[in-house]
Chains A and B, each alone.
Chain A
């Protein structure tokens, strides 16, 4: 089930993951067993994913991250917002990210 993503919320990496850099890739490995084994498969971050991941630090809200990236990459806010929401949704489903505060 998809979680509703709030732009005002702050997200952080779960404590139950290990992040490793291999060649140019970043992989995230969850290590908590759930009912569904696919939850324990490594998650590969592409370049865009890495850029977003670095900013999901438990301090900045998604809204701030969107603004930051829109400014840095000179891209429309709506497109960045859509990408970030999709990305955060996936990571929340895999329990890689957790919400630390929401508004």
Chain B
């Protein structure tokens, strides 16, 4: 319950006044939409693959590039920001007429060698070029691809996104020769024209169609499926439309319904993707389709980012969650009580790297292995989650910011930002926290015991118990990745 409320509140805060211009579901509409989606999922069940904890659904295999994304080893460099098209769903600022240097995760890489050092340092297995329209910087891309191949050989899979406006045979030959493995076309930018695809098949090893699932284009896309298969398209990737400051107005104009989820996706886009998949499997089209939903990106791409960089900043007394956040556990108390706890650790010969007393001695950070020495009838437990944050320069306010050297001329910095903190007050709730998130015991078993053992003397205790249960449930947001498609509301 609390998660829904927080999602709705977060969405409202993020969007501000525009929230009231946008179409959202009522409770009963949401219930109906969940039911409709379940029926669609049931109708394709057993005929599609479910990858990455049910976050990716579709018939056939995933592209090797998409596999690197799910496995957390994909880097995407935005080589420029200018474009030849003007798609209504584009999440980039189309008023921007000034180009930008190549950017990956907020870091500028205008030197291809620095980018390859970055790929090497963090052991990426997939690299893609996006934009804007990347082929506006065709020569630059060739330089980057050649450099990657020259230094990393075939250990890395390389692909390129394009709308196809600037493609020609010479460019394709040169991209192939440089070492490009896959080219992905957004055919929705060119009214589903397949000419550029025809030209690419047989030149580039894999030719993929990657488009948003646009509800208004359902019929035209449906008709394209067989032709795509015949021409030799290797994969169809369908994205879920989502809103940001640059495209929400166009989505409102199209009367789309928005969902209270991270990235504010469009309901009808998800339904369209699932209907296309159903059509493809019902009619045995044989084209591998990957529905890349908004929640998949939020869960897996961000997890990959966090896991990649948290190892540089996580302290020994901190833990990491399944979804890649750094988890810090803290006891806040008077210095005298903090010192008593430390004494207990010392008496038990605990490794002194597993705890840390902050400057004013009012807070003790402890590794989860030491929780067994703490009497939680006397202490509350603070749970604090951090995410790593990359930057080009050192954040002077973050004393834990670390420098990572890419080469003699280039370094990057990893800092941290606090994402959530909660105080757990009750001993049985703290016990349940440990069972759920440290020992990873079965959710049902943990809550069964929690409800059985919670000290209930008065009716007010019931409310308290439910609040604490909700709080534990909400911590799953930071602890676990999340299975399947997101609940619709």
Interface residues of A (CB under 8 A from B): 16, 18, 20, 22-23, 25, 27, 29, 31-33, 35-37, 40-42
Contact = CB atoms under 8 A, between A and B. Distances in A.
Interface string B23-51: 00000000100100000000000000000
Contact of A18 (B34, B443, B448, B458): B448
Interface stretch (B186-194, B220-228, B291-299, B459-467): B459-467
23 contacts: A16-B444, A18-B448, A18-B452, A20-B451, A20-B452, A20-B456, A22-B456, A22-B457, A22-B458, A22-B462, A23-B458, A23-B459, A25-B459, A31-B447, A31-B448, A33-B443, A35-B31, A35-B34, A35-B487, A37-B1, A37-B4, A41-B466, A42-B466
A45 B417 CA distance: 46
A41 B461 CA distance: 14
Contacts of A25: 459
A43 B466 CA distance: 12
A37 B459 CA distance: 21
Given A35-B487, A36-B31, A27 B447 contact: no
Contacts of A33: 443
Interface string B241-259: 0000000000000000000
A33 B483 CA distance: 13
A27 B465 CA distance: 12
A29 B451 contact: yes
Interface string B1-34: 1001000000000000000000000000001001
B458 A32 contact: no
B458 A31 contact: no
B95 to A, nearest CB: 41
A37 to B, nearest CB: 4
| Minimum-distance CB pairs A-B, first 9 | A18-B451, A31-B447, A37-B1, A22-B456, A29-B451, A18-B452, A35-B34, A20-B456, A31-B448
Interface residues of B, number: 18
Contacts of B456: 20, 22
Given A20-B451, A31-B447, 9 more contacts: A16-B448, A18-B451, A18-B452, A25-B459, A31-B448, A33-B443, A35-B31, A37-B1, A41-B1
A95 B203 CA distance: 58
Interface string B430-447: 000000000000011001
A40 B465 CA distance: 13
B462 A27 contact: yes
A12 B459 CA distance: 26
B462 A42 contact: yes
Contacts of B466: 41-42
Interface string B454-489: 001111011000100000000000000000000100
Nearest to A28: B451
A99 B443 CA distance: 24
Nearest to B487: A35
Contact of A31 (B451, B457, B459, B462): B451
A41 B458 CA distance: 17
B447 to A, nearest CB: 4
A54 B1 CA distance: 30
B295 to A, nearest CB: 15
Contacts of B34: 35
B459 A22 contact: yes
A37 B30 CA distance: 13
Contacts of A16: 444, 448
B373 to A, nearest CB: 30
B227 to A, nearest CB: 38
Contacts of A36: 31
Contacts of B451: 18, 20, 29, 31
Nearest to B3: A37
B143 to A, nearest CB: 51
B444 A32 contact: yes
B62 to A, nearest CB: 28
Nearest to B1: A37
Which of B452, B458, B461, B462 has the most chain A CB atoms closer than 10 A to its own CB?
Answer: B462
A93 to B, nearest CB: 14
A16 B442 CA distance: 13
Interface in B398-452: 443-444, 447-448, 451-452
B1 A40 contact: yes
A25 B463 CA distance: 14
Nearest to A29: B451
Contacts of A35: 31, 34, 487
Interface string B148-172: 0000000000000000000000000
A42 B444 CA distance: 15
A39 to B, nearest CB: 10
Contacts of A22: 456-459, 461-462
Contacts of A31: 444, 447-448, 451
Contacts of B4: 37
A89 to B, nearest CB: 19
A33 B474 CA distance: 13
Nearest to A37: B1
